[in-house]
Chains A and B, each alone.
Chain A
Amino acid sequence: MSDVKKIKRGVDIKLVGEADKEFAPDKTVKTIAIKPIDFNGSRLKPVVKEGDEVKAGTPLLYSKDSEQVKFCSTVSGEVAQVVRGAKRRLLEIRVLADSETEYVDFGAADPNTLEKEAVIEKMAASGCWPFLKQRPYNVVADPEKIPKAIFISGFDSAPLAPDMSLLLEGQEKEFQAGINALKKLTDGEIHLGLSAREAPSPVLANAEGVTINKYDGPHPAGVVGVQIAQVSPINRGETVWTINPEHVVIIGRLFLEGKFDARIRINVTGSEVNDRKYHNTIIGANVSNFIEGNITDGTNRVISGNVLTGTKIDDDGYLSMFERQVTVLPEGDEPELFGWLIPKTDKFSISRTLPSWVQRKFGDKKYELDTNTNGERRAFVVSGEYEQVFPFDIYPVQLLKAVITQDIERMEQLGIYEVVEEDMALCEVVCTSKMPVQSILRDGLDMMRKELG
Chain B
Amino acid sequence: MKALHNFLKNNVKPTFEEGGKLEKLWPVYDGFETFLFVPAHPAESGGAHIRDGIDLKRTMNTVIIALIPTLLFGMWNIGYQHYLALGMDASFMEEFIFGAIKVLPMVVVSYGVGLGVEFLFCVIKGHQINEGYLVTGMLIPLIMPVDLPLWMLGLSAAFAVVIGKEVFGGTGMNIFNPALIARAFAFFAYPAYMSGDSVWINTSVQEGQAVVDGFSGATILGQLATTGTTSYSAMDAFIGTIPGSVGETSIIMILIGAAVLIYTGIGSWRIILSALAGGAAMGLIFNAVAPYAITEVQQQFMAVPYWQQLIVGGFAFGIVFMATDPVSGARTNTGKWIYGFLIGFLAIMIRVFNPAYPEGVMLAILFMNTMAPLVDHYVLQANIKRRQKRTLKTAEA
Contact = CB atoms under 8 A, between A and B. Distances in A.
A382 B326 contact: yes
A10 to B, nearest CB: 14
Contacts of B266: 351, 353, 382
B5 A335 contact: yes
A353 B387 contact: no
Interface in A219-245: 233, 235-238
Contact of B37 (A307, A331, A336): A336
Given A371-B49, A373-B51, A384-B333, A340 B61 contact: yes
Given A354-B54, A379-B172, A397 B331 contact: yes
Interface string B285-321: 0000000000000000000000000000000000000
B34 interface: yes
A235 B171 contact: no
Interface stretch (B141-149, B222-230, B239-247, B378-386): B378-386
Contact of A374 (B38, B131, B333): B38
Q: Which A-B residue pairs are the 5 nearest by beta carbons?
A: A375-B55, A347-B53, A379-B172, A339-B38, A340-B57
Interface of B: 1, 4-5, 34, 36-59, 61-62, 128, 130-132, 169-173, 263-266, 268, 326-327, 329-333, 336, 376, 379-380, 383-384, 386-388, 390-391, 394-395
Interface residues of A, number: 77
B51 A374 contact: yes
A413 B387 contact: yes
A376 B55 contact: yes
Given A378-B171, A398-B331, A432-B55, 20 more contacts: A13-B50, A235-B394, A312-B45, A348-B53, A351-B52, A352-B263, A354-B54, A371-B42, A372-B51, A374-B38, A374-B54, A378-B55, A380-B172, A381-B59, A383-B331, A384-B326, A429-B51, A438-B46, A439-B44, A439-B47
Interface in A1-46: 13, 15
A48 interface: no
B62, B268, B387, most chain A CB atoms within 10 A: B387
A372 B38 contact: yes
B381 to A, nearest CB: 9
A196 to B, nearest CB: 26
Interface string A310-348: 111000000000000001010111111111110010011
A379 B171 contact: yes
Give the secondary structure class of A's interface.
loop
Contacts, number: 227
Contact of A373 (B43, B383, B395): B43
B54 A375 contact: yes
13 contacts: A15-B50, A352-B265, A353-B59, A353-B62, A375-B57, A378-B56, A378-B171, A379-B130, A393-B386, A393-B387, A413-B384, A430-B54, A436-B44
Contacts of A382: 56, 59, 266, 326
A344 B52 CA distance: 12
A337 B54 contact: no
Contacts of A246: none
Nearest to B45: A312
A398 B40 contact: no
Nearest to B385: A413
A428 B47 contact: yes
B391 to A, nearest CB: 4
Interface string A46-78: 000000000000000000000000000000000
A433 interface: yes
A312 B58 contact: no
